[in-house]
Structure 1
Amino acid sequence: RAGVCKAEVCPGTQNGLSSTGSQENQYNLIRDRYDGCEIVMGTSKSPKLKTIREVTGYVLIAMNHFQDLPLGQLRVIRGNNLYERRYALSVLFNYPKEGSNGLRQLGLANLTGGVQIINNKYLSYGPWVYWQDIIRDSSASIEIQYNGERGLFGKNVGTQLTKTVCAPQCNGRCFGTSPRDCCHSECAAGCKGPLDVDCFACRHFNDSGSCVRQCPQNLIYNKQMFQMETNPNAKYQYGSICVSQCPTHFVVDGSSCVSVCPPDKTEVEREGQKRCELCNGLCPKVCDGTGAEHRQTVDSSNIDSFINCTKIQGSLHFLVTGILGDDFKNIPPLDAKKLELFQTVREITGLYYLNIQSWPKELNDLSVFSSLTTIQGRSLFKRFSLMVMRIPSLKSLGLRSLREISDGSVYISQNENLCYHDTVNWTQLFRGSQVRVNNINNKPRDDCGEA
């Protein structure tokens, strides 16, 4: 079948070629993120991929020393976003400078769905795969160079063409050469039979194993009564699958699960479900956060863009180059009084997290965020949606209005004068299931006195 009724969906990453800490630490982070995962929403950069069947972004395999890729169940890479804006699959530099270990087999036996394979010294057969049968867009980039010499296919590796061998009557994929061997029109990556439940992956949406053009809509037409009625079997579009409920950290907009409401709508909560509704007059002011290449931190050059903001769409980063200034970019230090602009912010929504790694020495708390009620954390940084690190002036948090952290954990570390952080009932704030608080190397509780 194309899928199961309750496929395990996991978020991808946007890390590119960057890594986090030691190889052991990197492996543990990857294991926690992808263990048991079947569909990756975004990009996958991981050796822990044995169960993954679908990636909506790109797959990047780089700078690893293992011999085989554990991607045997991967059937489709959708390429909704591409590595270097060109590649849905990129395999780079998978061998050490010394020694004879390195990638020897791709193991993509089920992948029928540009490609870049460069500098894999021991990879022999992978670059010679007939990629034209796999790639949907005939004009997509295929870059294969500086790999091992052409050799025999690995053990038990076979080839099944599903596109270039099809009869003219087949508009998409096929499972044989006969005109009767066409896949269903909703199949994206080959099939084992003609039905919509025989697809290896779905072109549009997976509805409990059946590939469909759209998920069951909220309203259906009653031909006898000539009116629209509520559909009791309605489902929401969540990436490429149909779900009966959107994840708690997403918002319902019509029949879809979205990370951000459109400009003419605002986010409200109805019966425990966040929804996008049309604004009554002007919408609350939504402002872009930081983290982009041209806007890496809050600093004196962009602080005024946060005037009267009620929601931050994206991350908020407070880094040393923003607080103390950046001589290289001719950006002066940030006036601490300017941070009072954030007193109007009630939500950090959309994507990512609140990341405070530098703070004015005049301020001993984070009370400029005294109105902040919610941190969504729809995409995370190393699993965390709130990080407060290495702020020697910090004596208390001052986040007195914070009521919800929708997803992700909390990391509060190396704040030598910080007290009372352990008196916060963090469990009451969390909405996710696999979250925790990391309080490390802050001021000992015995030295703080009574809260």
Structure 2
Amino acid sequence: MRNLILFTWIGFVSPFQIIDVGLQQEKECGGMGFVQLGFSGTPQEWFAALANEYRDCTYVNGNLVLTWMTVPGLTYDLSFLHSIKYVKGYVIIAVNDYPKVISLPNLEVIRGNSTFEHNSMRLSLFVGLNAMTELQLPKLREISNGGVRFVNNRNLCHMHDIDWNSLMAGRLTHHPADLSFDQIQSENCGPCSAVCEQSDGNRRCWSYDQCQILNLSHTCIDRCPRRCYAEHFAGCCNPECAEGCFGPSDTDCYACKNYRLHGSCVSHCPDENPRTYPEGQECIVF
């Protein structure tokens, strides 16, 4: 029996919407509400519900939950995750015996506007009780809020090879407890490829030849509340930026922490001057 406390209230939030963002369209999906580690129906029905919720989704306006893939012989096709770029809440990957590689190849930002509470930690990423050998998040650039915890992933490789401080905008420098590994790395794990970049003298990768894209702007954290721009400190990013920036303005962000209005990153969508409403990350003018 798995040592888990199960929560049985399950809920998907609002239906998806199509967001017109100029040159591309993004599909918003509600994701999961305040759901923990339980599920409803059979494991097969639960997986089908997850696939239906997240398929073709770009912006998860809620939480991303991937759990209870435990049925031998069932084909767990995770291609429905491949379009996801942003998660507004938290990510849970837990209680999975299959598949051996779990990949979200286009996930860029986990915002952590809501967090998963586990053993007094408020988490944006929880990975626990999985049999997978690789977790691949090659485009992940920022975990904006909350902590990260790995628990009892007996075969998982390379999680100690990730520069988590870079992903967390330097928060670990002052709050090291925001990262927790209740596990040792499998003896079957090898090193990162020699082509992968280094930080703090270590090569960084998600798998042998899938290198981490490093965002080292956290090195200015003592002078900036979040990130700074330029290879060496030139100035602080605007507080509404995520991932980093190329200048000080709210129009210079690589991505927005909250919403975007007329090319500027903003904390909320205004009710007047102009009157707008939020769809995904965009403020849409009435």
TM over 0.5: yes
Question: Which residue does 2:141 correspond to in 1?
Answer: 111
Question: Which residue does 2:167 correspond to in 1?
Answer: 134
Question: Which residue does 1:120 correspond to in 2?
Answer: 153
- For residues 371-422 of structure 1, what are the alpha-carbon distances to aligned partners after superposition, in whole Å with 9 as ceiling and x for unaligned? xxxxxxxxxxxxxxxxxxxxxxxxxxxxxxxxxxxxxxxxxxxxxxxxxxxx
Percent of matched pairs sharing the same residue: 28
Task: Give the 5 Å matches for 1:121-200.
Answer: 121-136=154-169, 137-138=171-172, 139=175, 141-149=178-186, 151-152=190-191, 153=205, 154=207, 155-166=209-220, 171-174=225-228, 176-180=230-234, 183-191=237-245, 193-194=246-247, 196=250, 199-200=253-254
Question: Which residue does 2:127 correspond to in 1?
Answer: 91
Question: Which residue does 2:21 correspond to in 1?
Answer: 4
Residue 95 of structure 2 is aligned to residue 63 of structure 1? yes
Q: Is the 8 A contact 2:106 2:137 kept in 1?
A: no
Task: Give the 5 Å matches for 1:329-368.
Answer: none
Q: Is the 8 A contact 2:91 2:110 kept in 1?
A: yes
Partner SS state of residue 51, structure 2: helix
Q: Is the 8 A contact 1:68 1:106 kept in 2?
A: yes
Shift of 1:144: 0.6
Q: Is the 8 A contact 2:27 2:56 kept in 1?
A: yes
Question: Which residue does 2:7 correspond to in 1?
Answer: none
Quote the Cα distance in structure 2 between the aligned partners of 1:196 and 1:72: 27
Quote the Cα distance in structure 2 between the aligned partners of 1:4 and 1:72: 21
Root mean square deviation of aligned Cα: 3.0
Residue 72 of structure 1: which of 105, 109, 128 is its match?
105
Residue 82 of structure 2 is aligned to residue 82 of structure 1? no
Task: Give the 5 Å matches for 1:12-411.
Answer: 12-13=31-32, 14-46=34-66, 47=78, 48-64=80-96, 65-84=98-117, 86-95=122-131, 102-113=132-143, 114-136=147-169, 137-138=171-172, 139=175, 141-149=178-186, 151-152=190-191, 153=205, 154=207, 155-166=209-220, 171-174=225-228, 176-180=230-234, 183-191=237-245, 193-194=246-247, 196=250, 199-207=253-261, 210-219=264-273, 231=274, 234-237=275-278, 240-244=281-285
- For residues 132-165 of structure 1, what are the alpha-carbon distances to aligned partners after superposition, in whole Å with 9 as ceiling and x for unaligned? 2222554363211224336423213134124422
Partner SS state of residue 241, structure 2: coil
Gaps of 5+ in 2: 1-19, 67-77, 192-204
Bigger radius of gyration among the two: 1
Shift of 1:175: 5.1
Q: Which amino acid aligns with 1:7?
A: E
Shift of 1:44: 0.9
Q: Is the 8 A contact 2:60 2:88 kept in 1?
A: yes
Quote the Cα distance in structure 2 between the aligned partners of 1:10 and 1:167: 33
Shift of 1:130: 2.3
Q: 1:125 to 1:43 in 2, by over 3 A?
A: same
Question: Which residue does 2:198 correspond to in 1?
Answer: none
Quote the Cα distance in structure 2 between the aligned partners of 1:75 and 1:189: 8
Quote the Cα distance in structure 1 between the aligned partners of 2:263 and 2:48: 31
Q: Is the 8 A contact 1:176 1:182 kept in 2?
A: no
Q: Is the 8 A contact 1:168 1:179 kept in 2?
A: no
Quote the Cα distance in structure 2 between the aligned partners of 1:177 and 1:166: 10
Aligned length: 223
Structure that is richer in strand per residue: 2
Q: 1:62 to 1:167 in 2, by over 3 A?
A: closer
Shift of 1:205: 1.6
Q: Is the 8 A contact 1:4 1:209 kept in 2?
A: no
Quote the Cα distance in structure 1 between the aligned partners of 2:84 and 2:107: 6
Gaps of 5+ in 1: 96-101, 220-230, 246-451
Shift of 1:60: 0.2
Q: Which amino acid aligns with 1:179?
A: F
> Which is worse superposed, 14-23 or 48-57?
14-23
Quote the Cα distance in structure 2 between the aligned partners of 1:209 and 1:81: 25
Q: Which amino acid aligns with 1:112?
A: E
User: Which fold has the larger relative contact order, with Cα–Cα distance below 8 Å and residues 6 or more apart in sequence?
Assistant: 2
Q: 1:184 to 1:69 in 2, by over 3 A?
A: farther
Shift of 1:88: 0.9
Shift of 1:59: 0.4
Quote the Cα distance in structure 1 between the aligned partners of 2:270 and 2:29: 23
Q: 1:141 to 1:107 in 2, by over 3 A?
A: same
Quote the Cα distance in structure 2 between the aligned partners of 1:70 and 1:197: 31
Q: Which amino acid aligns with 1:33?
A: E
Q: Is the 8 A contact 2:133 2:157 kept in 1?
A: no
- For residues 179-232 of structure 1, what are the alpha-carbon distances to aligned partners after superposition, in whole Å with 9 as ceiling and x for unaligned? 3475444212224x336455343123223654234435413xxxxxxxxxxx4x
